[in-house]
Amino acid sequence: MTTDRVQMDKFAETAKKYISLVESFDQLSLGEGLSKMGVLLPELHACVMALGGGEPEQVPDHERSDLDDRFELFSRVKEHLGEEDAYAVELPTETDNHVLTGSLADDFVDIYYDLSTGLELLEQQQAEKALRKWLETFRLHWGQHLFDAIFALQSKGQASQAS
């Protein structure tokens, strides 16, 4: 799998910005955090699409982070989001309506851990493995969380410019 190293570096930098935003999310005002997330999520999507690489290879799971740490981060983000956490957005289709429901905290934290796994591989000088991991987990997991969070934020009017 060959990918332009510049695109991979740009994705890694965007992933680091995302990781930093999630880690400091509860230190920002809710409006500022949601606004920054509304700008960063589409940027993250653009960067992962630029990675290309065709069909990603199946990569064995990298050791998952401690579940206690994951739950602690989820709880912090969920508490800070308060009533803004849950979403239910009606999606009209040709035949009927579908309601997209979810939790922004769940979306944000699941994306966080899938990105951080790839960043850990990158720090271990395993760039090709990190790339395959990001692409595979995007296709199988965090991509759906990304789309759901972008749509939910846009429907809540939070996708405005970051301050």
Considering the domain boundaries, does residue 52 fall inside one?
A: yes
- Could you read off the pLDDT of 40-98 as tens digits, one per residue? 999 999 999 998 754 555 545 544 557 888 899 999 999 999 999 999 988 777 787 78
Considering the domain boundaries, does residue 161 fall inside one?
A: no
Q: What is the pLDDT of residue 135?
A: 93
Considering the domain boundaries, does residue 84 fall inside one?
A: yes
Considering the domain boundaries, does residue 121 fall inside one?
A: yes
Average pLDDT over residues 23-47: 96
Angle at 137 between CA 136 and CA 140, to 5 degrees: 90
Sorted by sequence, the CB contacts under 8 Å of residue 120 that are 6+ apart come out as 62
- Give percent of the chain with pLDDT exceeding 70: 87
- Give the structural domain span for 86: 5-155
Considering the domain boundaries, does residue 162 fall inside one?
A: no
Q: What is the pLDDT of residue 64?
A: 53
Q: How many domains does the chain have?
A: 1
Considering the domain boundaries, does residue 43 fall inside one?
A: yes
Q: Is the pLDDT of residue 144 over 90?
A: yes
Q: What is the pLDDT of residue 58?
A: 55
CATH number at residue 28: 1.20.120.1550
Q: What is the pLDDT of residue 53?
A: 59
Q: What is the pLDDT of residue 3?
A: 57
Q: What is the pLDDT of residue 5?
A: 85
Average pLDDT over residues 146-151: 95
- Could you read off the pLDDT of 101-142 as tens digits, one per residue? 999 999 999 999 999 999 999 999 999 999 999 999 999 999
